């Protein structure tokens, strides 16, 4: 009698190996997306720390115009401050035009990856939304995540 594997045994091993590879390739994109979103959250926090440095150098004031925000970004952040996809972060700064505790008006459509940090002055985060406050030095930064939802962080 010859010793060896039957065709059924070989087919079974190949099928199991194929299932394992399939599971890895299905899970890999979700893991990569999660890692990129984690980096984006960290980048928002780095940006907020940069704003605090700017404020400490400017008697607590925030940049007054879009140009000032861009200049602050260029002066205080290095060229490596980019989205994990390699695109430069854009800044969209505006005051929150609402009463205390209400959602900021004209919340941006954060349905696509446009690499924009949406900055609201005189606002704070409430979940995935920015709401108005009475403190003009409060700042909320919102960013659309690739996986799902919006990340909002505040000073």
pLDDT digits (tens, 9 = 90+) for 9-37: 999 999 999 999 898 888 888 888 999 99
pTM of the model: 0.79
pLDDT digits (tens, 9 = 90+) for 122-145: 999 988 888 988 888 889 999 988
How many Å apart are CA 76 and CA 54, to the nearest integer?
8
Return the residue matching tokens 């919006």. Answer: 150
Q: Are 47 and 117 in contact (CB under 8 A)?
A: yes
**DSSP assignment of 126-153:** ETTEEEE-S-TT-EEEEEE-SSSSEEEE
How many Å apart are CA 117 and CA 144, to the nearest integer?
8
């Amino acid at each position: 009698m010859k010793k060896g594997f039957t065709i059924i045994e070989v087919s079974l091993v190949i099928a199991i190996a194929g299932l394992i590879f399939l599971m890895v390739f299905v899970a890999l994109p979700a893991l990569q997306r999660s890692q990129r979103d984690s980096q984006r959250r960290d980048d928002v926090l780095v940006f907020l720390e940069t704003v605090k440095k700017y404020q400490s150098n400017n008697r607590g004031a925030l940049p007054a115009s879009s140009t000032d925000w861009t200049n602050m970004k260029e002066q205080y952040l290095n060229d490596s401050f980019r989205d994990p996809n390699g695109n430069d972060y854009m800044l969209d700064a505006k005051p929150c035009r609402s009463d205390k505790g209400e959602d900021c008006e004209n919340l941006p459509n954060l349905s696509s990856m446009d690499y924009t940090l949406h900055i609201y002055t005189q606002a704070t985060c409430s979940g995935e939304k920015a709401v108005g406050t009475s403190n003009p030095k409060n700042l909320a930064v919102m960013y659309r995540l690739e996986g799902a939802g919006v990340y909002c962080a505040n000073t």
